[in-house]
Structure 1
C-alpha cells in the first residue's frame, strides 16, 4: 500500500488523503490533556517528514493568529499545504470526528465515576505528559531560532510584553509582527 502520490510539478511525494485522515484521527483521539501541537509536529515533521520544520513553524504562527482553535487551524493549514482544500478537509475531519464521539463517551464515564478518587490523578498524569511534548517542541523551536539571533530578541520581547507585563496579545502581535517579518525578509 503506497502512502503517497507523486506531484509531477515538484517531484515531492505528498501523502494520500487517507494517510492524512488516519494521522489526524490518531492524534485527535489519542492526545488527552493538551499538547496537540507537539503531537502534530511529531507526526507531520519528525515521523512522516511530510512538512519541513520551517513550514510547520510558519503554519503554527499563522494558525495562532487566526480566529478559532489553534490546532484545528493548524491541521487545516497543513492539509491544505499538502493536498489543497480536500487535504484540509480530510485533516480536519480526521482530527475532529474521533474526539467528538470520545468526549460524549468520556462525559458518560466521568459522570459514572465521579466518586472514584483516582480519577483526578489519572487526568493530571495524562496532562503532564502532554505538557512534556509541548516543552520538547518549544526547545526545538528555540534551537531553530538561535540560528537567527534577531528572532530570539523578538521571542523575548513578545514573552516579556505578553507574559510578564500582561499586555493584550493582539496589539502586541500587531506591533511586533511587522518588525519580525522585516527582519526575516532581510535575512532571506
Structure 2
C-alpha cells in the first residue's frame, strides 16, 4: 500500500526543478489531460503542493481567461516561488512545445501518408483521457467526504454537462454556496 500524498510533508521547489518539470510535461504531453500530469508531478511525485491546494489552483485557473493549463502552471509556480516561479513554470511549459511544433510542422509537410501518425495521435488522446478520469476521480473522492461537496459536484455536472448551461453562470451561482458550505464546515470566522 502506498502512502497518501496528503499526509507526506511538502518539499521545497527550486526554480530549476520547476522549470525542468514543466519543460518535461510540455514536451511529453499533447492535447487534454495535462492537469492530470501536473497533479502527478506536483502533488504525488515531487510533493511540492498538497491535493487541496492543487484543486484550488485548478479551480482558479479554469475561471481565468486563457488556456487553463498555462493558468494552472502560473498559479502553482507563483504559489511555490513567487513571480519567478510563475515565469519559470510557464517558460518551461511553453518553450519546448514551441520548437517541437515548428519541427513537427516541417516533418508533417514532408509526409504524404499520415496513417501511422494519426494512429499515434489517437493513442496519445486516449492516454490524456485516462489522466482526466484520474484527476476527476480524485476530485470526486475528495468531494464525497461530505454530502454537501457531493451535491455541489452533482449540481455543476448536471447543469453544465446535461443541461448545457454556461459554465461561468453556473460557477457564479454555485461558488458562493460552495464557499459558504466549506466555511460552515470549518467552523466559521472563529475557527483557527
Q: In structure 2, what is the equivalent of residue 170 of structure 1?
A: 168
Q: In structure 1, what is the equivalent of residue 182 of structure 2?
A: 184
TM-score by length of 2: 0.89
Unaligned segments of structure 2, at least 5 residues = 1-8, 187-192
Please state how far the C-alpha of 1:115 moved relative to its aligned partner: 2.1
CA offsets, 1:89-115, max 9 Å, x none? 110000110011111111222222242
CA contact (8 A) 1:21 1:94 kept: yes
The alignment's C-alpha RMSD in Å is 1.4
Q: In structure 2, what is the equivalent of residue 48 of structure 1?
A: 46
Q: In structure 2, what is the equivalent of residue 152 of structure 1?
A: 150
CA offsets, 1:41-66, max 9 Å, x none? 00000000000000000000000000
Superposition pairs for residues 47-66 of structure 1, below 5 Å?
47-66=45-64
Matched length: 178
Q: In structure 1, what is the equivalent of residue 37 of structure 2?
A: 39
Superposition pairs for residues 69-88 of structure 1, below 5 Å?
69-88=67-86
CA contact (8 A) 1:33 1:123 kept: no
Could you tell me which of 114, 133, 136 is aligned with 2:134? 136
TM-score by length of 1: 0.91
Unaligned segments of structure 1, at least 5 residues = 1-10
Please identify, of 43-52 and 119-128, the stretch whose mean Cα deviation from structure 2 is larger. 119-128
